[in-house]
Structure 1
Amino acid sequence: MEFNKKPKILFDEDEIAKRVKELGKGISNDYKGDNIVVISLLRGSFVFAADLVRALHVPVNVDFMTTSSYGHSETSSGIVEIINDIRTDIKGKHVLIVDDIMDSGNTMKEVVEYIGEEEPKSIKVCVMLDKPSRREADITPDYVGFTIPDVFIVGYGLNYGDYYRNIPYIFTFDD
């Protein structure tokens, strides 16, 4: 897959690494003395989640959930499907849901409600990118890497079609 426009880098590798360390420090301080279960929403968050859990300084159990609302489109369909569920018993445990981006908030709202049915001690949300101008659901992430305007972004786990998750920086084609 080739791009017709030149990419514009929004956040380079160094900016991302610095921010992930800051998030890790803040989250570790908030959960000091506790264990947490990090639930990474696949596939987009796997790069961010891997870097984030290495930046945490509290005991961490990692699990994964696969959801879908985009398919191959640049915008959400509005229908959230849970494709693969977690395997960890989270009852009475602190849960941190990690995702690559929150825009409409529909997926995260549904995931938080779904996870809440398992009676965890607490649920917090951490996203690498927050796009609040697109918010439809009443949900705000607890931890945010970067807040961005309404642009289509790629890289650092975020895909375009089935590709470009491996790009180590975050970029856009929008002006």
Structure 2
Amino acid sequence: MTTQKIQELNNILEEADCLLSSEELDNAIDTLATQITKDLGDKLPIVMCVMNGGLIPTAALLEKLEFPLELDYVHATRYGMELEGQIELKWHSYPQIDFKGRHVLVMDDIFDQGHTLKAIVEWFKANGAKSVSSATTVNKLHDRKVEMTPEYIGAEVEDRFLFGYGMDYKGYFRNLKGIYAVKGT
């Protein structure tokens, strides 16, 4: 079973199209860091990583933010291990830092349809954050979005099933330093 699974996953990666290279991702994170520093550098914000997908891009972003901030995380999802999102948002972990009256930056991997990010942003607003802004590594280009747009977007990509740089394919490949699209999607 393990050998078969490894071969299946290696085939997915070999056949995938690389949409954003390591260098392009570095440039996207640099752009995000410049904009975020300008807007939040003097506000003592809390950077709120959306797990699990936001882990890799949040870590890369934090290395570029050279001002005082705090870091925390939330874990809320619509996907689990499925390829298509479910309607209901499932919360696995709420923030540990008291964010009431604070500026919060929610960092996620992708702005696809936006249901998850919108629900998280609205939750912070409803629960006392002074301000809430959001950032994503990529924005997927299509017209099935909720009525919101992240304040900070690193890059735009076509509407395909993506993995790498925090995004997974059935739980795998979050670790890749590139963003890939599954062949045929």
Q: Scaled by the length of structure 2, what TM-score is found?
A: 0.89
Q: 1:1-150 to 2 correspondence within 5 Å?
A: 1=5, 2=9, 3-4=11-12, 6-150=15-159
The question of whether the paired residues in 2 share the 8 Å contact of 1:37 and 1:96 is answered with yes
Count matched residues: 175
1:114 is displaced (CA, Å) by 0.9
Q: Scaled by the length of structure 1, what TM-score is found?
A: 0.94
SS in 1 for 2:63: helix
CA distance in 1, matches of 2:160, 2:76: 22
1:118 is displaced (CA, Å) by 2.2
Structure 1 consecutive aligned stretches of length 4 or more whose deviation exceeds 3 Å: none
CA distance in 2, matches of 1:120, 1:45: 20
The question of whether the paired residues in 2 share the 8 Å contact of 1:157 and 1:165 is answered with yes
Q: Which amino acid aligns with 1:12?
A: S
CA distance in 1, matches of 2:84, 2:102: 33
CA distance in 1, matches of 2:124, 2:163: 28
Alpha-carbon spacing, 1:65–1:57, altered in 2? closer, same or farther (3 Å): same
Over the matched positions of the two proteins, sequence identity in percent amounts to 27
Uncovered stretches (5+) of structure 1, i.e. residues with no partner:
none
Uncovered stretches (5+) of structure 2, i.e. residues with no partner:
none
Q: Which has the higher helix share?
A: 2
Say what the alpha-carbon RMSD is for the aligned residues: 1.4
CA distance in 2, matches of 1:31, 1:167: 29
Q: Which moved more, 1:49-58 or 1:132-141?
A: 132-141
1:57 is displaced (CA, Å) by 2.2
The question of whether the paired residues in 1 share the 8 Å contact of 2:28 and 2:137 is answered with no
SS in 2 for 1:141: coil
SS in 2 for 1:147: strand
Q: Flag the structure with larger Rg.
A: 2
